[in-house]
Structure 1
């Protein structure tokens, strides 16, 4: 059996690295992509790729590099995010097209094409492989926060994509999750905990069946279904 591969896009020092370390401990080869990286394999054995997720066309190229170096990813994590603060009293004022284009590219369009590339790979992997796509989400798909209007629009769009994919590809054994860490009272966790995400993402990848696509969880408790207003 070949060594499984994890690919994290938008691999920051908190969630991205925690997820990488958690999967590496399970024997995965790890590939990470972020704007701040230079292409190459580090002393930790992780493949790092330079990738600006606002440039959606480069997502396919990044997958090709991972495949060439390590093989086809059986777990793909989209952890990218782009946020522009808005006036909470007047969120439609001062919106600039350039800013919105970048936000939507990172928060909605690149997740779509990342999922597309993930599925291309999943179709080539055996049924014994994890074949799991995970997006680091938040409460903005069900929660109004005017100060992040356009950011929330992007997250809601991506969540909709994950919902569809989790339904359509379930019969093929592919799993899709929009993971949203909460406080015990259902309020958002800001910032999201890296170690908690790392542990949970491994659990989702190791699960045999598709769980709730909108995976709201509390650190130390696991999945919790919240009654949203």
Structure 2
């Protein structure tokens, strides 16, 4: 079974654009769960241009499914995660001014740093995942850090699939199988959508969870949030 975790960053973007509390981030999170969503993902950035650090605290008592916080483990982020204690923390090597995530970790180059951070999170009972490109050496490097899972960065798959190139799935399938073989859980995310999620799910062994935000919220503008959440669930199952 592959779980659907809904990234609600874009809800916060819309709220922040006008001030006030519309749309209500906490209500959207509870509604997503009511509609069948199996997790809530947020990705606070240092400039708080969408999810604010306070949102992470406010969501903790509200989220009843899996709670996943993504971000670059700078000291402020580490402090937040240790205080909130979500179900999972996903480590992403974002630059502070990044518009969106655009690369996975070099788990070989940054092994010692990741190992130290991950040990601290795991000591506090927080499941860890590392955002990685579909490269075998990065999967093997992730294993050396002590992480529980990897999250495959799926932008290149999504772009190629849109052009009709189904062969772009192969590096992901190979890396997912490698991860399973060496005892790592497999998550995935970035540019996954209603158009490409079914093919991805069918070809990725051991896929535990997908995190989807931008496409899901955009599709919901036309089709409705409850409907879209359930469309994803059907394609994933």
Question: TM-score interval w.r.t. the shorter chain?
Answer: 0.3 to 0.5
TM-score of the two chains, using structure 1 as the length reference: 0.37
Q: 1 or 2, which has the higher helix percentage?
A: 2
TM-score of the two chains, using structure 2 as the length reference: 0.36
